[in-house]
Amino acid sequence: MPDLSYLLQLQRPAAGLSLREGYPRALMAGPHLSRFQGRGIEFDEVRPYQAGDDIRSMDWRVTARTGKPHTKLFREERERPAMLLLDMRPAMFFATHGALKAVVAGECASLLAWSIQHQGDRVGSMIFDASGADVHPIKPARGKRAVMRLLGNVVSHPYWQQRPEPAQESLLGILQRAAHVTPAGSLMMIVSDGRGLDDGSEAMLTRLLQHHSILFVCIYDSFEREMDDAGLLYASDGVAVQQIDSGRQQLRREHAERFARRHEILHRLEQRPGFVLIECATDDDPVTVLEGRLRRMR
């Protein structure tokens, strides 16, 4: 179970995380395009062209109508809400190294939520369990209260104390639910092991990118990536116990292929503007992983 006092302490390192990477400024100045759409820009006004204006900001309709060159001006939006989706389905209660995937996910979610709070933006959250239903959804709001409610929901989740039910909802269903409650233009932060990623969920994430930026923190255990030949093993997802003969080469190959297919989808999505992937193992330090990945994006 995550330690609430530790999750509270994460607000200090979270202050150094930057999720405000800025809107792609191709229409404003410079060649740099950020992976995040940031707070965004909104149209302000049109004025006559001035020397030095970026030609990519030209308003060609007004230029054609008036016969004189005009430029569009934009201003930065005042805020960008964030919605955090935390996966607490049964498979998250697993690890062979380090902490349970659910524990690492809770720490990553806390860091991201504190970071948004430090930026002064609104943050909301949804926790999904075996049924796919969101547990105590929190609408985007400013201040520490929204983060504290998320932390409370993480540490008080019933799966820490009782045997979880078999998962009923696919990742696609979870994404569809989240799409209905996430404000347009949000930063959608998904903390999950990606179990259930398939063509349908990839298509859904692609559609979501038309309206949001997406930060996907994929939590995994090294056993999921590669199964060693260690004879008979017993594994549990919190619901059922399964005997695994790791000595079978075909079984190990199929096991690795399932993991590879899931991550192949994530890496394809990573090639799309507005999608950022961060991978964190159960024996990694979430603070170090998030700091390192976000720093490289600047």
Q: Are residues 289 and 230 in the same domain?
A: yes
68 band by pLDDT with thresholds 50, 70 and 90: very high
Residue 196 domain flag: yes
Q: Are residues 161 and 288 in the same domain?
A: yes
Residue 29 has pLDDT above 60, yes or no: no
Q: Are residues 60 and 103 in the same domain?
A: no
Q: Are residues 226 and 274 in the same domain?
A: yes
pTM score: 0.78
pLDDT > 90 fraction of the chain, expressed in percent and rounded: 41
**Residue 238 confidence (pLDDT):** 58
Q: Are residues 192 and 266 in the same domain?
A: yes
**Residue 73 confidence (pLDDT):** 76
Q: Are residues 266 and 192 in the same domain?
A: yes
Residue 34 domain flag: no
Q: Which of 58, 76, 94 is the endpoint of a domain?
A: 76
- What number is the average pLDDT over the span 206-218? 94
Domain that holds residue 125: 4-16+79-297
Q: Are residues 173 and 146 in the same domain?
A: yes
Average pLDDT value over all residues in the chain: 82
CATH number at 148 reads 3.40.50.410
Q: Which of 56, 76, 96 is the endpoint of a domain?
A: 76
Q: Are residues 132 and 205 in the same domain?
A: yes
Q: Are residues 58 and 175 in the same domain?
A: no
More confident: 203 or 226? 203
Question: How many domains, the chain?
Answer: 2
- What number is the average pLDDT over the span 15-32? 48
Planar angle of CA 75, 79, 83, nearest 5 degrees: 140
**Residue 31 confidence (pLDDT):** 32
Task: Tell me the pLDDT tens digit for each residue of 246-269.
Answer: 667 777 777 778 888 999 999 999
Residue 33 domain flag: no
Residue 270 domain flag: yes
- What number is the average pLDDT over the span 182-201? 92
pLDDT > 70 fraction of the chain, expressed in percent and rounded: 79
Q: Are residues 274 and 228 in the same domain?
A: yes
**Residue 11 confidence (pLDDT):** 93
Q: Are residues 62 and 175 in the same domain?
A: no
Q: Are residues 87 and 189 in the same domain?
A: yes
